[in-house]
Structure 1
Amino acid sequence: MTLLSVNHLKKEYKSKRSSQKVEALRDIDFQVEEGEFIAIMGESGSGKSTLLNCIATLDRPTAGQIQIQGRDLAAFKDKDLASFRREHLGFVFQEFNLLDTLSVKDNIYLPLVLSKKTQGKEEKLAKLAIRLGIENLLDKYPYELSGGQQQRVAIARALITNPEILLCDEPTGALDSKNASEILNLFDACHQNGQTILMVTHSPLSASHAKRVLFIKDGMVFHQIYRGDKSEQEMLVAINDAMTNLLGGQS
């Protein structure tokens, strides 16, 4: 079943230095099936983060359409988008965005508190904590944790609402290789449990965990690779080859 549909998406910004318009997205078109794990790659300025922000309802496109489970995001009023984000989308960022004044437990509960859906929160947290290996951290505070532990907490916060799509923006960018590998393995496990994941990354190694990789160039989908029966190493080689072609301007 198609969970996310992006149709002829366009996003323009006005340049701060002139009256000229800058095309961040020119004509983005793709679909995401329920349960897919997709990585989005591209060089800096290619439009990949703008695309994620539009899907996340943090920015509105200039033209085109985004549908999640058949719901047209353009039809939502601004005041309704915040509740839509809380109830249907989960977010994992490069910076963990945890609140140091709240315990780990309360940081994870925050989306449920904001949406006033706290019933059964202890049971939800208990299951998540075991899955993510943070059951011994719940009474600590974010400043007492390592970067890898903080990202595990951020993932728990994103998953506590059972989001339809987990949106990840450079989720391993602030981590060392060991912690990055552990986080990617957690994403693999989430995907195997049926979670739909859309991840923006500059790292071929991170992207090699995905089942499909979209390459963005000049605001358009330039190329895509399906994992199929490739191993992670074979996928990594295919991604590196595609990035070489992308950066070299070949089609």
Structure 2
Amino acid sequence: MTLLKVEHLRKEYRSRIKNNTVTALSDVNFEVEEGEFIAIMGESGSGKSTLLNCIATLDNPTAGMISLNDQDLTKLSDKLLARYRRDHLGFVFQDFNLLDTMSITDNIYLPLILAKNTIGKENKLNHLSKQLGIESLLNKYPYELSGGQKQRVAIARALITNPDILLADEPTGALDSKNSSEILSIFSQYNEQRQTILMVTHSSLAASHAQRVLFIKDGKVFHQVYRGNKTEQEMLLTINDAMTNLLGGIA
């Protein structure tokens, strides 16, 4: 079942310095099936983060369509977008975005509180904290945690609403190799449970955990590779070959 459709997506910005138009996305087209784990890669400035922000409804496209569960997000008012974002999307970012003035428990509960949907919140928290190995952290505060622990908390916060799709922007960018590997394993485990994941990353190692990798260049999706029956190591080699051949050898 197709969960997400992106058709002829275009995003332009007005440069304040040179007073000209900058095209971040020119004509992006792709679909995401329910239960897929997709990574988006590209050079710096290729438009991959802009694309994720448009899908996350954090930025408005200039033209084109973004449809999630047959709902065209580009047609919704700001008020309806905020509600749709809250009810259907989960977010994991490089810098965690946790609130230091709130306990870990309250950080995780925040999306439910904003949605005024707190029924069964304790059971949801207990289930997620056990799966993510953060049970001993629930009474602490973000400033007391390591980067890897913060990202686990951020994942719990993103998943507590049972989102249709989990959007991750460089989720391992601020982590060391050990914590990065653990976070990517967590993503893979949740994907095995049919959680749909769309992840932007510059890391071929991170992307090797995905089922499909989209490469963006000059504001368009111009190539993709599929995992199929490949191991993570074989997928990593395929991604590196694609980057060498198609992206001019960037790492």
Do these two structures clear the TM 0.5 threshold for a shared fold by scoring above it?
yes
- Name the structure 2 match of 1:211: 211
1:62-117 CA deviation, whole Å, 9 max, x = no partner? 11100000000012101221111111000000001111111100000000001100
Q: In the alignment, residue 183 of structure 1 is paired with which amino acid? A: I
| 1:167 pairs with 2:167 | yes
Any residues of structure 2 matched to 1:148-227 within 5 Å, and which? 148-227=148-227
- Name the structure 1 match of 2:143: 143
1:216-244 CA deviation, whole Å, 9 max, x = no partner? 00000110000000110110011011111
Separation in 2, partners of 1:38, 1:247: 18
In the TM superposition, residue 9 of structure 1 has moved relative to its aligned partner by 0.5
Quick check: 1:10–1:62 contact (8 Å CA) kept in 2?
yes
In the TM superposition, residue 136 of structure 1 has moved relative to its aligned partner by 1.1
1:171-209 CA deviation, whole Å, 9 max, x = no partner? 000000000000000000010011000000000000000
Q: In the alignment, residue 164 of structure 1 is paired with which amino acid? A: D
- Name the structure 2 match of 1:34: 34
CA RMSD of aligned residues (A): 0.9
1:37-82 CA deviation, whole Å, 9 max, x = no partner? 0000001000000000000001111111000000000121012211
In the TM superposition, residue 131 of structure 1 has moved relative to its aligned partner by 0.7
Runs of at least 5 residues in structure 1 that lack an aligned partner in the other structure: none
- Name the structure 1 match of 2:19: 19
Separation in 1, partners of 2:55, 2:247: 25
| 1:104 pairs with 2:104 | yes
- Name the structure 2 match of 1:47: 47
Separation in 1, partners of 2:144, 2:71: 41
Separation in 2, partners of 1:31, 1:247: 22
Separation in 2, partners of 1:210, 1:180: 14
Give % identity: 73
Quick check: 1:217–1:246 contact (8 Å CA) kept in 2?
no
Separation in 2, partners of 1:170, 1:203: 8
In the TM superposition, residue 246 of structure 1 has moved relative to its aligned partner by 2.4
Secondary structure, aligned partner of 1:248: coil
Q: In the alignment, residue 234 of structure 2 is paired with which amino acid? A: E
Separation in 2, partners of 1:91, 1:179: 18
Q: In the alignment, residue 87 of structure 1 is paired with which amino acid? A: D
| 1:230 pairs with 2:211 | no
Q: In the alignment, residue 25 of structure 1 is paired with which amino acid? A: L
Normalised TM-score (structure 1):
0.98
Secondary structure, aligned partner of 1:136: helix
- Name the structure 2 match of 1:127: 127
- Name the structure 2 match of 1:60: 60
Size of the aligned set, in residue pairs, is 249
Runs of at least 5 residues in structure 2 that lack an aligned partner in the other structure: none
Normalised TM-score (structure 2):
0.98
Separation in 2, partners of 1:29, 1:228: 22
Q: Which runs of 4+ in 1 moved over 6 A?
A: none
Q: In the alignment, residue 221 of structure 2 is paired with which amino acid? A: V
